[in-house]
Structure 1
């Protein structure tokens, strides 16, 4: 039987989900996608594989998954059916038909995450799904300098929790910077908020949140720029413990070859 392949671009607010991966008795993004597909197709003879698995409360402005199914589908109708039946915090953006040579695992050229945060004054509660609010003073200029240290090729052994067997810790970070947040705005957002932007081919488990934890420690004066430099040399295998909350993290975009 001939297989059919579809690349489905989508976005979601992750605040009420326990990540992507299906888990018993927990609401996950992957579970909602599969549940909706079963309803639309009226069967469960399909498989889905996501480009980037996110953790609990992490959102995605642009993610993608591949659908493997035995019958041909109309992409436009499938997109309409998805958005009619998915909950309001998940939206399908575009559907592309692919062939058997396409691989959702190998096709992503880069992945970009952003971490939204503010400091000193506590945010409006409506900000909670998107912005982490730190109520102490942060040296934002020092944090900007620290963010640049992660750019380039480094050993990220300390910036990973429970790595998979055979994980590669030598990674190249293409972009690592802190800038004022101009991407996401709302009337209840603080007057000034910031975005940590990081882009790479791929990331280790909790890598971005551990990097942001180091930058937060730097901004608080708890560590120095030299401490960050040392942490990237691979001489110490003890993982860092300061991990920031998940709800400020957004998978911003995936670039495909």
Structure 2
């Protein structure tokens, strides 16, 4: 029987994993999903492909994967079967049939992330794995002015880990915004763009928090975009505050949110 390609949207709590991708040093989200598919297919190994990797501790609300299953199954049946076999910190949110040409990574044209910062005076034990604690006074106006400078097409060398394997460090950020979630006493950063470099968003946040705290000026963003030197930017914010929210395959939706 001809294999059928399926596209899935996956949510996961990244706390207990070394990241999305299979790694030699611990368990991964990819490993768990492939284990579930192997059980469903009587021991057959079914590789899955994702829109991209996420690091250890990073969460996902809308990761996209695809795989070729060796039998035609109704999407809803596949959804229920997979979720019955996966651990509680991974959820297949949706399943749909995909054309044999579709590729979750190569056809992705952009992504949206959020980053959550807990502003409580003391660390909330129920947020410690899902936010970064930052209990300091800050200037919201300066933060909002600084973050807007990240929008547009720029060379983001200053905001990329030196461990990257990319040579082209130019990306377009369509949305860079921050809001105060009063109900939860959090800052919520949102970034939407055609691609993000290794640790780019976490370095954004680490630098922006320094500006909000008064350690750097708003104009520091302009200087960092010009000097293209990772050593001049702020620290890399912790992984647990970062969430992959959505992967885009439609240009209009990417540009307009």
Say yes or no: TM over 0.5: yes
Q: Is structure 2 residue 139 aligned with structure 1 residue 139?
A: yes
Q: Is structure 2 residue 91 aligned with structure 1 residue 102?
A: no
Residue pair 2:224, 2:233 contacting (<8 A) in 1 also: no
C-alpha change, 1:131 and 1:164, in structure 2 (3 Å) is same
Most deviating of 230-239 and 71-80: 230-239
Q: CA RMSD in A?
A: 1.9
Q: Is structure 2 residue 224 aligned with structure 1 residue 223?
A: no
Residue pair 2:120, 2:135 contacting (<8 A) in 1 also: yes
CA distance, structure 2, for counterparts of residue 70 and residue 240 of structure 1: 48
CA distance, structure 1, for counterparts of residue 105 and residue 57 of structure 2: 23
Q: Is structure 2 residue 64 aligned with structure 1 residue 61?
A: no
Kindly state the Cα deviation for residue 227 of structure 1 after the two structures are TM-superposed: 1.5
Residue of structure 2 in register with 1:256 after alignment: 249
Q: Is structure 2 residue 3 aligned with structure 1 residue 10?
A: no
Residue of structure 2 in register with 1:163 after alignment: 164
Most deviating of 42-51 and 52-61: 42-51
CA distance, structure 1, for counterparts of residue 91 and residue 154 of structure 2: 36
Q: Is structure 2 residue 239 aligned with structure 1 residue 246?
A: yes
Residue of structure 1 in register with 2:255 after alignment: none
Residue of structure 1 in register with 2:253 after alignment: none
Kindly state the Cα deviation for residue 248 of structure 1 after the two structures are TM-superposed: 0.6
CA distance, structure 2, for counterparts of residue 76 and residue 119 of structure 1: 40
Q: Is structure 2 residue 78 aligned with structure 1 residue 78?
A: yes
Q: Deviations over 1:52-93 (max 9, x none)?
A: 211111111111101123333332211001111111111111
Q: TM-score, normalised by structure 1?
A: 0.90
Kindly state the Cα deviation for residue 121 of structure 1 after the two structures are TM-superposed: 0.8
Q: Is structure 2 residue 204 aligned with structure 1 residue 203?
A: no
C-alpha change, 1:209 and 1:243, in structure 2 (3 Å) is same
Aligned residues: 249
Q: TM-score, normalised by structure 2?
A: 0.90
Residue of structure 2 in register with 1:45 after alignment: 45
CA distance, structure 2, for counterparts of residue 168 and residue 234 of structure 1: 16
CA distance, structure 1, for counterparts of residue 159 and residue 23 of structure 2: 25
CA distance, structure 2, for counterparts of residue 32 and residue 16 of structure 1: 12
Kindly state the Cα deviation for residue 250 of structure 1 after the two structures are TM-superposed: 0.7
Q: Is structure 2 residue 172 aligned with structure 1 residue 179?
A: no
Residue pair 1:120, 1:135 contacting (<8 A) in 2 also: yes
Residue of structure 1 in register with 2:92 after alignment: 92
Q: Deviations over 1:143-182 (max 9, x none)?
A: 11111110111110111111114x3211110000111237
Q: Deviations over 1:105-160 (max 9, x none)?
A: 23324311000113361232111122211122222221111111101111101111
